[in-house]
Structure 1
Amino acid sequence: MIFLDGIPISKWGLQIQQEHDHPAVPELRRKAMIIPGMDGEWDFGSESGPKPFNFPLGFIEYDKNEKQRRINEFVAFLLDPYGRPREMKLSFDYEQDKYYRVKIANGFTPRRIHGFAFFDLPLIASKPRKNFMVPSDEIVMESDIPILSDLLWDTGFSDRKITSPQSFEIINNGTVVILFSFQMEGSGDNVSFSANGKTMTFKNFANKSLEITDNYVVKVNGISDLTISNGIFLELLPGTNQITVSGSNLNLTISESLTYQYV
């Protein structure tokens, strides 16, 4: 069973064939150069491309008017009010704690025979990584998270008070590198955060609220303002990461919000 925005496709009476494709690895873009006189090629590495999906779906309906109505309803779900493909969460019943962000990739044409309709649903995840179902600050003992989820509960800090330079650990439960996203309120001079060889610094500020997101955005009191920082964003490797905070006149309250990602 597949789910779109948490809704099982059976809501539209659709069923997926037991044999379907779920790519384990996204498309790979190899960067190589052939040099005359050299055997093989010069390998510059590879980059991940999008991850395509193609699901063979079908449903049973003998009334031709009702068959068209159900197709129309499903198509309307896939598109936004302007008729453009909209982003949805795609998840599977065999991995309920993770999801992809997908859009419909191409049009499709239902094949109609008496009592049945069949079509292949093409979806594309422009960002090919799987995301954990909730951000880290929502992972608490009362969370409705599948018991099979492989994660540590004590992942970092929340509402931590910082009044002097110090170091602490943050756990990235995913399998790929993610940005360190967090919220910071209060005051500080020459504030800096360091981790894994990178340092993010901030100008002096007083009684402000800062948000550093996982898509390279810095907000000051809710308004985007990258000028308050040096523009360097910290990366968290899979596993345990050490964060070092330095500065003077520190009176900060910090909370992290991480979206774990997986290959």
Structure 2
Amino acid sequence: MILLDGIPISHWGLQIQKEHDHPAVSDLRSRTMAIPGMDGEWDFGSESGPKPFNFPLGFIEYDMYEKQRRLNEFVAFLFDHYGKPREMKLSFEYEPDKYYFVKLSNGFTPRRIFGFAFFDLPLIAYKPNKRFIVPSDKIVMDSDIPIMSDLLWDTGFSNRKITGPQSFEIINNGWIVIPFSFRMEGSGNDVVFKANGKTMTFQSFINKTYEVTENYTVKVDGVTNLTSTNGVFLELFPGVNKITVEGSNLDLTISESLTYQYK
């Protein structure tokens, strides 16, 4: 079974055929250059392209008016109020703790047979990595998370009071390097964060709230302001990461909300 925005497709009376495609890895874009006098090509590395999905769906309905009503309802779900394909969360019954952001990638035409309707639903994830169903600050012992999830359960405790230079550890439970997204409240002079060979600095501030997001933006008291830092964003590698905070007159509360990612 597949779910769209947490809704099983059976909600629309649809069923997925037993055989369907779920790409393990999206197509790769290799960047190479042929250099005269050198055998082969120079490899500049590869990047993951979008991940396409194509689901063969169908339903049984002998009332032709009810059949059309169901199709209309499902089509309306796939689009926003402007008539544009909207982004949805796609998840699978056999992997309920992860999801993709997808949208409709092409049109489809139902094949109508008396009592039946069949069509292939084409979806695409332009961000091909899977994401964990909840952010890290929601992972605590009573969380409604599938038991098979490979997580360290102390991940969600993150409100740290910083009153002097110190280091602490943050766990990235995913397989992919992610930006260190965090919220910092309070005051400090010449505040510096260090992790995995990178340094992020902040100007001196009093009673401010900083939000460093996974989209590589910085907000100060709710207003985007990249000039308040040196523009270097820290990265968290899979596993345990050491974060060092330096500065003077520190009176900070730091909390993170991480979205783990997987291939």
Superposed pair shares fold, TM > 0.5: yes
Q: For residues 58-137 of structure 1, what are the structure 2 equivalents within 5 Å?
A: 58-137=58-137
In the alignment, which residue of structure 2 is the partner of 1:5? 5
- Cα deviation code 1:116-167 (max 9, x no counterpart): 1111111111111100000000001110000000010122752210000001
- Cα deviation code 1:62-107 (max 9, x no counterpart): 1111111111100000000111011100000000000000111111
- Cα deviation code 1:26-49 (max 9, x no counterpart): 121011122344332222110111
Q: Which secondary structure state, in structure 2, belongs to the residue aligned with residue 70 of structure 1?
A: helix
Check whether the contact 1:157–1:256 (CA below 8 A) recurs between aligned residues.
Answer: no
CA distance in 1 between partners of 2:157 and 2:231 (Å): 23
Q: Which secondary structure state, in structure 1, belongs to the residue aligned with residue 155 of structure 2?
A: coil
Q: Does 1:184 align with 2:184?
A: yes
AA paired with 1:240? Answer: V
AA paired with 2:254? Answer: I
CA distance in 2 between partners of 1:221 and 1:156 (Å): 24
Check whether the contact 2:140–2:156 (CA below 8 A) recurs between aligned residues.
Answer: no
Check whether the contact 1:101–1:125 (CA below 8 A) recurs between aligned residues.
Answer: yes
Check whether the contact 1:156–1:169 (CA below 8 A) recurs between aligned residues.
Answer: no
Cα RMSD (Å): 1.0
CA distance in 2 between partners of 1:185 and 1:34 (Å): 51
CA distance in 2 between partners of 1:83 and 1:103 (Å): 13
Check whether the contact 2:32–2:43 (CA below 8 A) recurs between aligned residues.
Answer: yes
CA distance in 2 between partners of 1:189 and 1:51 (Å): 45
AA paired with 1:26? Answer: S
In the alignment, which residue of structure 2 is the partner of 1:223? 223
AA paired with 1:136? Answer: S
Q: Which secondary structure state, in structure 2, belongs to the residue aligned with residue 26 of structure 1?
A: coil
CA distance in 1 between partners of 2:190 and 2:213 (Å): 20
Check whether the contact 2:137–2:156 (CA below 8 A) recurs between aligned residues.
Answer: no
What percentage of aligned pairs have identical amino acids? 78
AA paired with 2:252? Answer: L
In the alignment, which residue of structure 2 is the partner of 1:45? 45
In the alignment, which residue of structure 2 is the partner of 1:27? 27
In the alignment, which residue of structure 2 is the partner of 1:209? 209
Aligned residues: 263
Check whether the contact 2:138–2:156 (CA below 8 A) recurs between aligned residues.
Answer: no
Q: Which secondary structure state, in structure 2, belongs to the residue aligned with residue 99 of structure 1?
A: strand
Structure 2: which 5+ residue stretches go unaligned? none
TM-score by length of 2: 0.98
CA distance in 1 between partners of 2:183 and 2:37 (Å): 55
Q: Which secondary structure state, in structure 2, belongs to the residue aligned with residue 233 of structure 1?
A: coil
TM-score by length of 1: 0.98
Residue 224 of structure 1 and its aligned partner are, at CA, apart by 1.1
